[in-house]
Amino acid sequence: MRSISRRLVGVVAAIGLAVAAVAIAAQPAQAAYQTVETMVPGAQGDDPAVLDTTLYLPSDGKSKHPAVLLAHGFGGTKLSVAQDAKDLADRGYAVLTYSARGFGRSTGHIHLDAPQYEIKDAQLLLDWLAARTDIELDGAGDPKVGVVGGSYGGGLALLLAAYDQRVDAIVPMITWNDLGTALVPNGVFKQAWAGVFFAGGASAMGAPAKGAGAGDPACGRWAADVCAAYLKLATTGVLDDQTKALLGERSPAGVLNRIKAPTLLVQGEADTLFPLSEADANAHGITNAPVRVAWFTGGHDGGDGAQSDQDRVKFLMLQWLDHYVRGDGDAPSTSFTYSRVTGLDAVERGRLATGYSVDAYPGMGGDATTTVELSGRAQEIASPPNGSPAAVSSLPGAGAAASLLSSLAADLPGQHARFDTEPISGGLTVVGSPKVRIKVASPTGEATIFVKLYDVAPDGTATLDNGLLTPLRLTGLPASLSTAQPVEVTLPGIVHRVEDGNRLRLVVATADQAYLGPVDPVTYSVDLAAAQLTLPTVNGTPIQTSEALWVWVLAGLVAALIIGVIAAVVIARIRGRRKEQKITEEYAETPLSVKGLRKTYGKFVAVDEISFTVERGQVVGLLGPNGAGKTTSLRVLMGLTQATAGDVLIFGHKLAPGAPVLSRIGALVEGPGFLPHLTGEQNLRAYWRATGRPWEDAQFTEALAIAGLGDAIHRRVKTYSHGMKQRLAVAQAMLGLPELLVLDEPTDGLDPPQIAEMRRVLQRYAVDGRAVLVSSHLLAEVEQTCTHAVVVHKGRVVASGRVDEIVGDTPTTQFEVNDLDLAQKVLDRVDGVAGYAVDGDRTLVADLGEVSRSEAVAALVRAGVGVDRVTPRRRLEDAFLALVGDSTAGSGDR
């Protein structure tokens, strides 16, 4: 579950679990903190659990601190939120992180936030906090505490506040209101997301829980009742009363009126798992506490501009906790805030998300509506057997591929009906859930349909906002449209700007890969019941962040100096073309050339200055300690973020979003994500279809041969070992046999035989003029796999070249001796020996410095130490440590 956990960690980080840069700037130098590692007993009963916890205590001289219980997302552990805990501790909070039961080192089974298990566990953690002398109390046994969590952790925050009145404030993010409606919306089973999460629980992070899956390996670390409910739901697609009750017990929907803790609801606009309607239902259900709703541009599906939306949401979270938990500042506003992507960030040169605010939350209907006319005739559409083939609106866990789908009209011929508006004059911004009325007829009396709203540009490009759609299972339908009754369809909540001259297109489709479709084929008739499409709007006031103010300043300068700007642009383009032509000639056959790459976040320098090249036929290892800038560099190379300065040239073409040359790169950067119920081959085909390129260009057979998947490609991914999933991910990156392959930690989690096989895979790939760039922390593997290496330290390249040249000769020597203790004493007395380390029962690894090996051996023998073997070492690890020193501990990778 590396892909799920990393993805959810990224979501949580993007919406505010780290301290805002603006807030940090206003604070003194970061305070140190200390940690307390404890195994705390959780709920006992029929499934006892012990929880693996870490408490981060500020070392600011204060004897007591307010607390924050920080819950991780599904598939994660306490390590997933470690950096967020450190940031909050630096702000003066005692932060308790823990691995939920069934995850990491915590025991017990996964009950999916059940009140008698996960929620009781959290209550016992509050008891544990209240018993400590360094935690501020509201009263005896009542800690001063806020609860923060995203997704799985967000559901826990809501439920814990409902069941335990000691909670002072909560910030639940990207979470659910009712699991039944979230996983089976309008009676249609959301099989892709449900399958991803079930697989995540079946192979939860860490060692298996005690007794997990005994007698039923399909369930893994899931509790037996939850496992049985999922298997039944995935088989039938029907949410029966028993399953509905089980999911309802684990949903905030039924207990929201118990919540007294002030609640900040943060929900993502890019979220096909828990869309905006889930937060809307939570907001309306909490009637006994202050509530604020904030929408941001991210979510479970990533989202465009989410990075630049961080500071706004971070500020809201900190403001909420500071007032309601610590007691600082005035009461925060309960106004509604939302954001949308508005252009380029003038500071970071990435996508800019601008925040807006209105005094009161208007709900999904907006504070006003606009009606536009749809046109189109009655149409017949075919529902395929078993819902296949199907349109691909979204791919859970697919990262960049999922975002790509939003700009592709992925509906299949004969399986969808279209109804278009006229071009919209002046444009408009939709904030909330559009509505439309349609008619449907079916010879079986039932229909499963998927309703979508596309934004269609004048050139015909159709964009489905964040892959969102409304599934509907209709019953009691007539066979003819002449007697069909109108059906009102509420489309997903969106924040979307329709530009002047664009049209809107309503699509009614019969199958979607993310959902379970009907078994039997059938043909439906579809028409509009009314021509009106109702669009909600909100008259929000822009929030003047520093980035937004900078954009307005730039706009004013452009208006004042328009003639000069035009002239400058013309000159720059002429020069740029000349420069591009020169670069194209010089680097046209070079897969990758990085020149002066720099990336900053405000005053923080993630990458200072990095330059290197990757030539054809090379396997290049990108090495560096945590915090060196490796991950940031790879994100820039793949277009996931933009550089502050410098150039990235791919076969002589300057890197730019959407550049055709990107098709010559294959990558595994954010971790693999696959649909477990599909075979390896089906997953690869779905991915390639999402790229919009012809299947014959995939070179499927060649990629599989290099990856060495064999007959396993025809098995369902849920049966794969971790190593097989990694090989499948590499095969996915190899589709089309791109000339440059970029891989981030491809051997992560593999055992030695699997690592050896991955080594052969990469070496086989770098033939016929192809090249590989691989980031890894396994130095021995880089030494055996890579032809070249680039060593990065503190955001700069400290060495690059052939691996054997970087390794060179080192004074490190390995001694096998018969008396380890005496040998250490001897070396302690020899002047010039820089140091040594014990490696096993009989081996010393010594840095002899200026002492020759013969002098060291003589000293050992004279003292009576038997020396069985003396071996000089020439290892990449030695060279690496010599280059970066002892700075490999500390901050996470950048």
Q: What is the CATH number of the domain that holds 283?
A: 3.40.50.1820
DSSP string, 22-66: HHHHTS-SPPPEEEEEEEEE---TTS--EEEEEEEEE-SS-S-B-
Q: With left for phi above 0 and alpha for psi between -120 and 50, is residue 113 left, alpha or beta?
A: left
Q: How many domains does the chain have?
A: 4
In this prediction, residue 402 carries a pLDDT of 47
Name the pLDDT band for 142 (thresholds 50, 70, 90): very high
Are residues 523 and 606 located together in one domain of the fold? no
Q: What is the mean pLDDT of residues 646-672?
A: 77
Residue 344 has pLDDT above 70, yes or no: no
Q: What is the mean pLDDT of residues 172-201?
A: 91
- pLDDT tens track for 695-709: 888 888 888 877 777
Q: What is the mean pLDDT of residues 84-101?
A: 93
* pLDDT > 70 in the chain, percent: 81
Are residues 673 and 794 located together in one domain of the fold? yes
- Write the burial class of residue 323 (CB in 10 Å: 0-12 exposed, 13-18 middle, 19+ buried): middle
DSSP state, 866?
-
In this prediction, residue 327 carries a pLDDT of 92
Of 758, 779, 806, which residue sits at a domain end? 806
How far apart are the C-alpha atoms of 54 and 78, rounded to whole Å? 8
Tell me which of 562 and 176 has the higher pLDDT. Answer: 176
In this prediction, residue 778 carries a pLDDT of 67
- Phi and psi torsions of 195, nearest 5°: -65, -40
Q: What value, to the nearest 5°, has the Cα angle with vertex 808 and ends 803 and 809?
A: 150
In this prediction, residue 13 carries a pLDDT of 34
Are residues 463 and 421 located together in one domain of the fold? yes
CA gyration radius for the chain?
29
How far apart are the C-alpha atoms of 164 and 126, rounded to whole Å? 9
How does the average pLDDT of the chain come out, rounded? 81
Instruction: Determine which of 3-12, 89-98, 438-447, 468-477 has the lowest per-residue pLDDT on average.
Output: 3-12
Are residues 790 and 820 located together in one domain of the fold? no
How far apart are the C-alpha atoms of 856 and 852, rounded to whole Å? 6
The residues, ordered by sequence, that sit 6+ positions from 843 with a Cβ below 8 Å of its Cβ are: 814, 815, 816, 817
How far apart are the C-alpha atoms of 793 and 775, rounded to whole Å? 14
How far apart are the C-alpha atoms of 39 and 78, rounded to whole Å? 12
616 located within any domain: yes
Q: What is the mean pLDDT of residues 596-608?
A: 81
493 located within any domain: yes
How far apart are the C-alpha atoms of 657 and 663, rounded to whole Å? 12
Are residues 319 and 382 located together in one domain of the fold? no
How far apart are the C-alpha atoms of 670 and 673, rounded to whole Å? 9
Q: What is the CATH number of the domain that holds 668?
A: 3.40.50.300
Name the pLDDT band for 804 (thresholds 50, 70, 90): confident
Whether cis (ω within 30° of 0) applies to the bond prior to 389 is yes
Instruction: Determine which of 351-355, 535-539, 766-770 has the lowest per-residue pLDDT on average.
Output: 351-355
Instruction: Tell which residue, 98, 75, 69, has the closest CA to residue 171.
Output: 69
Q: What is the CATH number of the domain that holds 418?
A: 2.60.120.260
Question: What single-letter amino acid sits at 253?
Answer: A
Question: What single-letter amino acid sits at 24?
Answer: I
Q: What is the mean pLDDT of residues 644-663?
A: 79
Instruction: Tell which residue, 78, 371, 353, has the closest CA to residue 206.
Output: 78
431 located within any domain: yes
- pLDDT tens track for 710-732: 888 888 888 887 778 888 888 88
- pLDDT tens track for 733-792: 888 888 998 888 787 766 677 677 778 888 888 877 889 998 876 677 777 788 888 888
In this prediction, residue 663 carries a pLDDT of 75
Residue 211 has pLDDT above 80, yes or no: no
69, 125 in Cβ contact below 8 A?
Answer: yes
Structural domain range at position 798: 591-806
Q: With left for phi above 0 and alpha for psi between -120 and 50, is residue 658 left, alpha or beta?
A: left
Residue 31 has pLDDT above 70, yes or no: no
In this prediction, residue 20 carries a pLDDT of 31
How far apart are the C-alpha atoms of 512 and 327, rounded to whole Å? 49
Are residues 723 and 846 located together in one domain of the fold? no
Q: Which tokens is 134 given?
A: 């360094």
Q: What is the CATH number of the domain that holds 840?
A: 3.30.70.100
In this prediction, residue 722 carries a pLDDT of 77
Tell me which of 793 and 29 has the higher pLDDT. Answer: 793
Of 806, 829, 851, which residue sits at a domain end? 806
Residue 212 has pLDDT above 60, yes or no: no
Q: Which tokens is 38 given?
A: 């404890």
575 located within any domain: no
494, 466 in Cβ contact below 8 A?
Answer: yes
- Phi and psi torsions of 166, nearest 5°: -75, -20
Instruction: Determine which of 62-66, 295-299, 657-661 has the lowest per-residue pLDDT on average.
Output: 657-661
Tell me which of 554 and 807 has the higher pLDDT. Answer: 807
The residues, ordered by sequence, that sit 6+ positions from 607 with a Cβ below 8 Å of its Cβ are: 597, 598, 599, 629, 632, 633, 636, 643, 795, 894
For 547-569, letters b (16+ CB in 10 Å) and e give bbeebeeeeeeeeeeeeeeeeee
Are residues 513 and 602 located together in one domain of the fold? no
Name the pLDDT band for 874 (thresholds 50, 70, 90): low
How far apart are the C-alpha atoms of 11 and 307, rounded to whole Å? 10
Residue 405 has pLDDT above 60, yes or no: no
Name the pLDDT band for 15 (thresholds 50, 70, 90): very low
Are residues 748 and 604 located together in one domain of the fold? yes
How far apart are the C-alpha atoms of 789 and 773, rounded to whole Å? 9
192 located within any domain: no
Q: What value, to the nearest 5°, has the Cα angle with vertex 838 and ends 832 and 841?
A: 135
Residue 218 has pLDDT above 70, yes or no: yes
Residue 345 has pLDDT above 50, yes or no: no
Please identify which residue in the block is written with the tokens 């993630």: 606
Tell me which of 703 and 151 has the higher pLDDT. Answer: 151
- Write the burial class of residue 629 (CB in 10 Å: 0-12 exposed, 13-18 middle, 19+ buried): buried
Q: Where are the alpha helices (DSSP H) in 694-819?
A: 700-707, 722-734, 752-765, 779-785, 803-807
Q: How far is CA 589 from CA 383, 697, 740, in A?
A: 48, 21, 11
How far apart are the C-alpha atoms of 723 and 183, rounded to whole Å? 30
Q: What value, to the nearest 5°, has the Cα angle with vertex 456 and ends 450 and 460?
A: 115
Please identify which residue in the block is written with the tokens 């052939």: 802
Name the pLDDT band for 889 (thresholds 50, 70, 90): very low
552 located within any domain: no
Are residues 625 and 719 located together in one domain of the fold? yes
* Helix, strand and coil percent figures for the chain, each rounded to 5: 35, 30, 40
345 located within any domain: no
Are residues 100 and 7 located together in one domain of the fold? yes
Instruction: Determine which of 37-51, 372-386, 874-888 has the lowest per-residue pLDDT on average.
Output: 874-888
- pLDDT tens track for 364-396: 999 999 999 999 999 999 999 988 888 888 777
Q: How many Å is the maximal CA-CA distance in the chain?
A: 106
Q: How far is CA 284 from CA 394, 553, 782, in A?
A: 28, 39, 55
Dihedral of alpha carbons 164, 165, 171, 172, sign: positive
In this prediction, residue 878 carries a pLDDT of 60
Are residues 834 and 791 located together in one domain of the fold? no
Residue 568 has pLDDT above 80, yes or no: no
Are residues 53 and 153 located together in one domain of the fold? yes
613 located within any domain: yes
- Phi and psi torsions of 496, nearest 5°: -145, 130
Instruction: Tell which residue, 594, 639, 614, 643, has the closest CA to residue 774.
Output: 614
Name the range with the highest mean pLDDT among 258-267, 556-565, 714-723.
258-267
